[in-house]
A and B are shown apart, each in its own frame.
Chain A
Amino acid sequence: GAVVSQHPSRVICKSGTSVKIECRSLDFQATTMFWYRQFPKKSLMLMATSNEGSKATYEQGVEKDKFLINHASLTLSTLTVTSAHPEDSSFYICSAGLGQGVNGYTFGSGTRLTVV
């Protein structure tokens, strides 16, 4: 089946530094990838939709200059949290689409980001 690998699973960084999270589709090509943020005891909030070869589409309220998304190939999308602050600490999850719309979404295992 379709597998999405997300790396790293956990990262701790100092305030003011940048952190990159990778999302890879291992056995399929994903034209569309999605980035979610999950606050403690809260639901998943869609941050942005990443389309291969084009700019990401950000949801309202998400700072595109702070959360940089790159989808340079059909198997890799990256989320970079720039100048991270403690309030950026969260669980970030990516998902990749098989080109079948929501029918074919597969989720990564998530990244726990802690900014100290």
Chain B
Amino acid sequence: AQSVTQPDIHITVSEGASLELRCNYSYGATPYLFWYVQSPGQGLQLLLKYFSGDTLVQGIKGFEAEFKRSQSSFNLRKPSVHWSDAAEYFCAVAPNTDKLIFGTGTRLQVFP
């Protein structure tokens, strides 16, 4: 069965530090891959997505993610975190074109 794993439940970083959020998926082929961000009590905002082509994907708010087929991973990165980046981050995969499967999320806390 398809699944998405975000091994880090909670990450704390200092403002200005670099960030990497991990995401691994289990699927026979390469699915569509997404990262979403959710502020408290809010819906989800799409940060970036990968369908095909260049494995390094640029997104909004200075985020990027790299697809590594050999590791079945799609880790999210940001070189310098801002306090406003504190939120819940969800990795999601779409095994086909219709349905999103979400990971359990990683809560990011940013210290000044």
How many chain B residues touch A (Cβ–Cβ < 8 Å)? 23
Known contacts A43-B90, A102-B32; A109/B102 CB under 8 A: no
- Is B17 in the interface zone, CB < 8 Å from A? no
* Contact B100 A93, beta carbon cutoff 8 Å: no
Instruction: For A108, give its contact among B34, B41, B43, B104 (CB under 8 Å).
Output: B43
For the complex, give the distance between the alpha carbons of A43 and B98 in Å. 18
Q: How far is the CB of B74 from chain A (nearest CB, A)?
A: 14
Instruction: For B105, give its contact among A34, A43, A91 (CB under 8 Å).
Output: A43
Q: Which residues of B have CB within 8 Å of A42?
A: 104-105
How many chain A residues touch B (Cβ–Cβ < 8 Å)? 24
Interface residues of B (CB under 8 A from A): 32, 34, 36, 41-46, 49, 51, 90, 94, 96-105
* Contact B42 A110, beta carbon cutoff 8 Å: yes
For the complex, give the distance between the alpha carbons of A107 and B44 in Å. 6
* Contact B98 A49, beta carbon cutoff 8 Å: yes
Q: Which residues of B have CB within 8 Å of A102?
A: 32, 34, 94, 97-100
- Is A44 in the interface zone, CB < 8 Å from B? yes
